[in-house]
Structures are given as C-alpha cells and as structure tokens.
C-alpha cells in the first residue's frame, strides 16, 4: 500500500483537460502503483480540485483513503475532528511539536513528502505570488526532487496538452 501527497499552487486555471489529467493520473496510481492513501494539505486550489476528483473516484475505488494533514491546530476538539471525518477518512497534525507560524505549511508539506511514495504536483516555475521569495509549492517541489521522490507535475502535462 502506497501513499501519494497532493501539493500545488494556491490558484490554478481549472479546466476539463486538467480534470481529465488528474483523474487519469490518480487512476493510474491506484491501479498500477498500488496507491491507497492520498495526503492533502489546505489553502490550495489545486489541493481542493484534486480532493474533488479523488472523492469522485471513491465509488469506483472504495478502499482509497483521504487524509487531511493539518499545518495548524495540533489539538482539535472531537466536534471538529468529527466534522473533518465527513470529508476525510482521517486527519492529524504533522508534528508532535507545537509549531504554528508562517513556516508551518512548508514543514507540513515536507512531512507529507517524506511520508509519500509519490508526489502529485501542480508546479509552475513562473508562478511567483511574492517576487521576493519562492512559492511554497516551489520549495516543496524542490524538496521532493532532492529526496528523489517520484513526482508527477500536472502543470507540465496540462500545459503540453493545451
């Protein structure tokens, strides 16, 4: 049983082509790579887009699990946990340490990459929301490559299909 994390830019250009790319790649990961668990963060349009596609595939592949990895709120109420269980099979905080600052999302993404066999990205090298620093997706993508993780960049595939 393998794990795949989903990481991408805060804003993306949604399209039927991108939907088909995500669906094709996820089905391939499930059927050919034995991926059963998908890790999601938050605050990313790509993450939410993939969540919808993967959730739609649960009727075809009921054994897949969607896990929400929190970058904030290491301790949550039972009420909030049960609320999250309406959307995900599980949720947990990425660290045993109490870390909550602007870098928590970057640390969370690294945690997800470390736990994953495959990383599903939507990474555009020209995406610069803040011209002074790299995007979080850029840092995560570079980290995944450094860790020699199998990476699928759907931005590249989407761009080549358009």
* CATH, residue 34: 3.40.50.450
Give pLDDT tens digits along the chain (162 positions). Answer: 999 999 999 888 888 999 999 999 999 999 999 999 999 998 799 999 999 999 999 999 999 999 999 988 888 999 999 999 999 999 999 876 655 556 788 889 999 999 999 999 999 988 776 666 788 899 999 999 999 999 999 997 666 554
| Domain total in the chain | 1
Helix (H) or strand (E) holding 44: none
At 139 the pLDDT is: 92
Angle formed at CA 150 by CA 143 and CA 104, multiple of 5 degrees: 35
First-to-last CA distance in the chain? 33
At 128 the pLDDT is: 73
For residue 115, the enclosing domain spans 2-161
At 91 the pLDDT is: 96
At 10 the pLDDT is: 87
Running DSSP on this structure, what letter comes out for residue 116?
A: -
Sheet holding 150-153, edge to edge: 90-93, 65-70, 35-40, 2-8, 118-122, 150-153
At 162 the pLDDT is: 45
CA distances (Å), origin 82, targets 63, 87, 88, 125, 130: 20, 9, 10, 38, 36
């Amino acid at each position: 049983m393998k794990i795949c994390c989903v990481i991408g830019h805060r804003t993306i250009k949604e399209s039927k082509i991108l939907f088909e790319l995500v669906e094709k790649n996820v089905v391939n990961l499930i059927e050919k790579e034995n991926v059963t668990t998908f890790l999601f963060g938050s605050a990313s349009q790509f993450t939410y887009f993939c969540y919808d596609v993967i959730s739609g595939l649960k009727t075809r592949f009921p054994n897949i699990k969607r896990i929400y990895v929190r970058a904030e709120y290491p301790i949550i109420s039972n009420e909030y946990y049960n609320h999250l269980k309406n959307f995900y099979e599980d949720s947990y905080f990425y660290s045993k340490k109490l870390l909550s600052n602007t870098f928590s999302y970057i640390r969370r993404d690294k945690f997800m990459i470390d736990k994953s066999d495959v990383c599903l990205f939507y990474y555009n090298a020209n995406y610069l929301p803040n011209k002074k620093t790299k995007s979080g997706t850029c840092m995560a993508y570079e980290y995944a490559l450094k860790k020699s993780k199998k990476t699928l960049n759907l931005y590249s595939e989407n761009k080549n299909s358009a």
